[in-house]
Amino acid sequence: MGLGSGLLLRMQVEKVLKEANIPAKVEVMDISSARGSLLQADMVVTSSELAPQLGETKVPIITIHNFVDLNEMRSKVVPVAQSLHKG
Amino acid sequence: MLADLLTERTVRVGVEARDWQEVVDIAGRLLLEDGSIEPSYIDAMREVIQSLGPYVVIAPGVALLHGRPQHGVKRICMSLVVLKTPVKFGHPENDPVTLAFALGGVDERSHLDALAQLATLLSDEDAASRLRSAQTVEEVLEIIRSFDHAAGSDATT
């Protein structure tokens, strides 16, 4: 569903990663494609609603309640992205 | 951008709805009457919620309703329904909904600016609260116009 919420989420993730100077490629995926592609992603950002549908994975999954709150986005996404970026 | 989409034809305030299905109908009908979508798009917006759950409630009290471009979108469009009595969509944290935006995109890119402006507007607590309590369409349009200018340059950086 890369149209409403997905696009919005991508935009916000890109915004906080850019602020933190972390280069990243952010892609929007619907649930069924995300399940198959998870192994290629370093992290997944989704809503708390959809997270359970992703199933079991070793990739860190970050759940966001409020898609327009950049503080929530920053505090949840940046630390994980930073550790991935360094590692 | 946002002010081109949200106009006196696509914004309603003080709306009463029984349930989320009716909210989708009302927000969708505004786009239909504006000639921006086919009737099938309203069903598509409802099906997204039915199949994927109420994840369209993207922030406390805010729903962003949408389907896919191929479900009957004729041109980029957005409508806003300000609900008089908040309506539950079944979202554990963000219910109940007062502001319901319906969005129609023709591809995955062209409505990015509008979406960016909407995000900026909604993240401003003062503006969001004035939207929620707006009594007239003109009040809503004024808030939107102020953000269209304020967010325009930010959205493209």
**What's residue A5's pLDDT?**
83
Residues of chain B found within 8 Å of residue A66, distances taken between Cβ atoms:
58-60, 94
Boundaries of domain holding B35: 2-152
Residues of chain B found within 8 Å of residue A70, distances taken between Cβ atoms:
123
Residues of chain A found within 8 Å of residue B93, distances taken between Cβ atoms:
48, 65
Which among B77, B72, B74, B61 has a CA at the least distance from the CA of B5?
B77
Check if B56 contacts A (Cβ < 8 Å): yes
Distance CA A39, CA A35 (A): 9
**Range A5-79 classified under CATH 1.10.260.30:** no
Amino acid letter for position A62: I
- Give the pLDDT band of residue B126 (cuts 50, 70, 90): very high
The alpha-helical segments, DSSP class H, found in chain A are: 5-19, 31-37, 70-86
**What's residue B150's pLDDT?**
57
**What's residue B152's pLDDT?**
45
Q: What is the pLDDT of residues B2-33, one digit of tens each?
A: 999 999 999 999 999 999 999 999 999 999 99
Check if B3 contacts A (Cβ < 8 Å): no
Q: What is the pLDDT of residues B71-95, one digit of tens each?
A: 999 999 999 999 999 999 999 899 9
Partners of A64 in the beta sheet?
Answer: A47
Check if A67 contacts B (Cβ < 8 Å): yes
Please name the member of A3, A28, A50 whose beta carbon is closest to the beta carbon of B55.
A50
B135 part of a folded domain? yes
B157 part of a folded domain? no
CATH of the domain at B118: 3.40.930.10
Partners of A38 in the beta sheet?
Answer: none
Distance CA B76, CA B56 (A): 18
**What's residue B153's pLDDT?**
45
B92 part of a folded domain? yes
Report if pTM > 0.95: no
Per-position pLDDT tens, chain A of length 87: 456 788 899 999 999 999 999 999 999 888 878 887 777 899 999 988 888 888 888 889 999 999 999 999 999 999 999 998 887
| Total structural domains within chain B | 1
ipTM: 0.84
